């Protein structure tokens, strides 16, 4: 049974006429087409979700678009998004829209579950790692200045509050899922104060969970271990940047960016997307992108909305297509198009006898 979120402190958003409204941000690159497929599958399966589409133009400097998106998410409580490109040609003051969204909505926990899929050919097998990444501070604080011409300082902020908060989330989730071990990833031998504080907070929280083993590992050793023996890891918790590295390594190990969904949780809001947040510009609009990650993300969203039956139905169809039918897109070595995969998924849903619309 697929992981549920620890939603004891999160009420489901208000329903109007039995339907939910979810903010949808198409983003750039492959985002729009993948999200169209999500809508297609939802329509077909009669999922009681209406999408409020909010576009964010990555080419403009003003923050009006992203602020509108944030407002919409505050209103609806839940969002599904594609990645918004950050253009380097723009001034450094134009910050990453994705990051702005995460920090404004205080989506402090980025959660990713990397599992080996039987139908996908990879070098390593039997991987089952949950990564919990602090999502609002650390190296992503966007606090930079050029003190003297040619000398730039970038501030990494680590706070006790946010470190305790993410550690708490990690241990709660680990217990809820019946996981045995939490590993904190850090570089406290070099960043003694910053990562030292993070580690200390993890230890404090760990002491309240004697049933769960807690250990720690330095980030460079972690990546080395991941590429040689990834099966040793269970649940991992870490600050923002290491989370970026470890998530991507793990996604690569189980088959790539097209497969793994990601979730960003705060106390009030939740935003779902692909785990590795790629724009995929080079494969956009060619009907070759893998719809799996985004569709699985939409299933995580359905679980969050407590629409468990719909979530299971779609998820089973996706996994069946992946593992039994083995209809694969190019990124995992197949020759199927995006639409072929989506059609197959919908056919499987229909074959299970549930209510579907014309297609």
Q: DSSP code of 324?
A: I
State yes or no: residue 257 binds other proteins (CB under 8 A).
Answer: yes
Q: Which is nearer to other proteins, 8 or 121 (CB)?
A: 121
Residues 6+ apart with CB under 8 A from 87: 58, 59, 94
Picking from 84, 59, 85, the residue whose alpha carbon sits closest to that of residue 69 is 84
Binding segment for other proteins (CB under 8 A), chosen from 21-29, 62-70, 237-245, 297-305, is 237-245
Site string for other proteins, 198-227 (x = CB under 8 A): ---------------------xxx-xxxxx
Q: Provide the b/e sequence for 267-283 (b: ≥16 CB within 10 Å).
A: eebbbbbbbbbbbbeeb
Binding other proteins (rule: CB under 8 A), the pick from 13, 256, 262, 291 is: 256
Yes or no: say if 276 and 262 are a contact pair by the CB < 8 Å rule: yes
- Rounded to the nearest whole angstrom, what is the least distance from the CB of residue 139 to other proteins in the complex? 7
**Helix axes 292-304 and 338-351, enclosed angle (nearest 10):** 40
Q: Which is nearer to other proteins, 94 or 117 (CB)?
A: 94
State yes or no: residue 104 binds other proteins (CB under 8 A).
Answer: no
Site string for other proteins, 65-94 (x = CB under 8 A): ---------------------x-x---xxx
- Rounded to the nearest whole angstrom, what is the least distance from the CB of residue 212 to other proteins in the complex? 25
Q: Which is nearer to other proteins, 110 or 320 (CB)?
A: 110
Residues 6+ apart with CB under 8 A from 81: 23, 24, 25, 26, 27, 31, 101, 271, 272, 273
> Cα dist. 122→15, 28, 244, 326 in Å?
42, 28, 21, 14
Number of residues counted as binding other proteins (CB under 8 A): 59
State yes or no: residue 192 binds other proteins (CB under 8 A).
Answer: yes
> Cα dist. 266→9, 11, 109, 290 in Å?
10, 12, 6, 28
For the chain, how far is it from start to end, CA to CA, in angstroms? 29
Q: Which is nearer to other proteins, 223 or 343 (CB)?
A: 223
State yes or no: residue 298 binds other proteins (CB under 8 A).
Answer: no
- Rounded to the nearest whole angstrom, what is the least distance from the CB of residue 122 to other proteins in the complex? 8
Distance CA 355, CA 350 (A): 8
- Rounded to the nearest whole angstrom, what is the least distance from the CB of residue 28 to other proteins in the complex? 12
State yes or no: residue 284 binds other proteins (CB under 8 A).
Answer: no
Of residues 123 through 162, those in contact with other proteins by CB under 8 A are 123-124, 139-140, 142, 144-146, 149-161
Please report, as ranges, the residues that interact with other proteins according to CB under 8 A. 86, 88, 92-96, 99, 123-124, 139-140, 142, 144-146, 149-161, 187, 190-194, 197, 219-221, 223-228, 241, 244-245, 247-249, 251-253, 256-257, 276-278
């Amino acid at each position: 049974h697929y992981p549920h979120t620890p939603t004891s402190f999160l009420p489901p958003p208000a329903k109007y006429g039995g339907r939910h409204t979810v903010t949808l941000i198409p983003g750039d690159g492959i985002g729009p087409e993948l999200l169209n497929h999500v809508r297609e599958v939802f329509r077909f399966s009669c999922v009681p979700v209406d999408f409020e589409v909010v576009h964010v133009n990555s080419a403009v400097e003003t923050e009006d678009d992203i602020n509108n998106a944030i407002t919409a998410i505050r209103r609806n409580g839940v969002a599904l998004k594609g990645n918004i490109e950050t253009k380097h040609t723009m001034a450094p003051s134009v910050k990453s829209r994705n990051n702005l969204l995460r920090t404004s909505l205080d989506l402090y926990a980025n959660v990713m579950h990397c599992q080996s899929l039987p139908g996908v050919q990879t070098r390593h097998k039997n991987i089952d790692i949950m990564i919990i990444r602090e999502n609002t501070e650390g190296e992503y604080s966007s606090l930079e200045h050029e003190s003297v011409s040619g000398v730039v300082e970038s501030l990494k902020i680590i706070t006790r509050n946010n470190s305790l908060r993410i550690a708490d989330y990690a241990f709660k989730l680990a217990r809820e899922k019946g996981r045995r071990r939490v590993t904190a990833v850090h570089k406290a031998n070099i960043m003694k104060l910053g990562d030292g504080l993070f580690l200390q907070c993890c230890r404090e929280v760990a002491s309240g969970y004697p049933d769960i083993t807690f250990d720690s590992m330095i980030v460079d050793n972690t990546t080395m271990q991941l590429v040689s023996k990834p099966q040793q890891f269970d649940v991992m918790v870490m600050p923002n940047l290491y989370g970026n590295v470890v998530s991507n390594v793990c996604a690569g190990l189980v088959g790539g960016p097209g497969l793994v969904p990601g979730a960003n949780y705060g106390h009030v809001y939740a935003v779902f997307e692909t785990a590795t947040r790629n724009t995929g510009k080079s494969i956009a609009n060619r009907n070759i992108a893998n719809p799996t990650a985004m569709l699985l993300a939409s299933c995580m969203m359905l679980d969050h909305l407590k629409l468990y039956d719909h979530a299971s139905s779609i998820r089973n169809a996706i996994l069946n297509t992946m593992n039994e039918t083995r209809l694969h897109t190019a990124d995992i070595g197949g020759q199927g198009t995006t639409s072929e995969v989506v059609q197959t998924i919908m056919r499987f849903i229909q074959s299970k006898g549930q209510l579907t619309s014309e297609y």
